[in-house]
Amino acid sequence: MSEPSDIRIVLVETSHPGNIGAAARAMKTMGLGELVLVNPKDYPCVEATARAAGADDVLANARVVDSLAAAIADCQLTFGATARLRSLRWPVVTVREAAGMAITERQSSKVAVVFGRERTGLSNDELALCQKLLNIPVNPAFSSLNLAAAVQVVCYELRIAALGDAVHEPERPEEEYAPAGMIDSFHAQLERDLVDIGFLDPDNPRQLPLKLRRLFIKARPTINEIKIMRGILKGLSRKRNATDA
Ligand code: SAH
């Protein structure tokens, strides 16, 4: 048995500091300790420490950042925990499947699970940064699960999977997956080039940037594949410039 301590938990724009403390407590009871807070509303706060009930070391080590992209820039597999199953098609796994994948893949990939705001959850742009959506199957007649309770369920399943009860066939890449930050900068370059060739209208982008981002996130490209794509963009732009000249 090995502790699931290397799995990162990310809380996005949490409003109630009590929930941050309760999430830290939920994490520590299950052997997790890596907490990242994206723009917490009211933090640090005595209420967070009180609700952490002894898990104050998790709070003390928590990193505060100003965007989800920054929170997961080094991650190669990110799950977005969501109560609602969005209209845009996106791979959804149950919390149990997700935990199995996370524990299998953590040997080769940095893994994070992201949780949304108490009232509104995660935005589509934030979900687009995640390879998979994670759902806790709840009673459809009463589906409201508190943020810290959702963190508890996820951390429990991670622990069970780490104990070896969940078997998941690993996706075995021959090479390392590209971290989120690398996909991000490739995507920024792609968008600039698409504006340059007139395919993307910056004043009326519609859903194109989001759809393209989803395409690349879903594909889980390796570092080498991103380098190939960057090389292609560079080659095309060289050719364009030569023709323009
Ligand atoms: N009203 C919000 C729910 C927010 S609950 C909404 O409709 O999206 C706060 C966070 O807890 C969610 O963003 C999600 O990360 C997590 N959560 C709550 N219920 C969940 C469920 N059934 N499955 C997965 N995550 C859940």
- Residue whose tokens read 């965007």: 67
Q: How far is the CA of 145 from the centre of ligand 1 (A)?
A: 6
Q: How large is the average pLDDT for residues 121-131? A: 94
pLDDT-derived band at 186, boundaries 50, 70, 90: very high
Give the nearest ligand 1 atom to 120 CA: 2
* Residue predicted with more confidence, 88 or 173: 173
CB of 94 closer than 6 angstroms to any ligand 1 atom:
no
Evaluate if residue 173 carries a pLDDT over 70.
no
pLDDT of residue 174: 76
Q: How large is the average pLDDT for residues 146-157? A: 98
Domains and CATH numbers, the chain: 8-167 (3.40.1280.10), 180-244 (1.10.8.590)
CB of 93 closer than 6 angstroms to any ligand 1 atom:
no
Per DSSP, the three-state class of 203 is coil
Alpha-carbon span 49 to 139, nearest angstrom:
31
Q: How large is the average pLDDT for residues 170-190? A: 87
Alpha-carbon span 32 to 50, nearest angstrom:
19
Q: How far is the CA of 67 from the centre of ligand 1 (A)?
A: 19
CB of 135 closer than 6 angstroms to any ligand 1 atom:
yes
* Residue in 82, 93, 158 to alter for ligand 1 test, most ligand atoms within 8 A of Cβ: 82
Q: What DSSP element (H or E) covers 34?
A: strand 34-38
Give pLDDT tens digits for 39-93. Answer: 999 999 999 999 999 999 999 999 999 999 999 999 999 999 999 876 557 889 9
Residues sharing a CB contact under 8 Å with residue 96, sequence separation 6 or more, in sequence order = 157, 161, 166
Per DSSP, the three-state class of 133 is strand
Evaluate if residue 157 carries a pLDDT over 50.
yes
Average pLDDT of the chain? 92
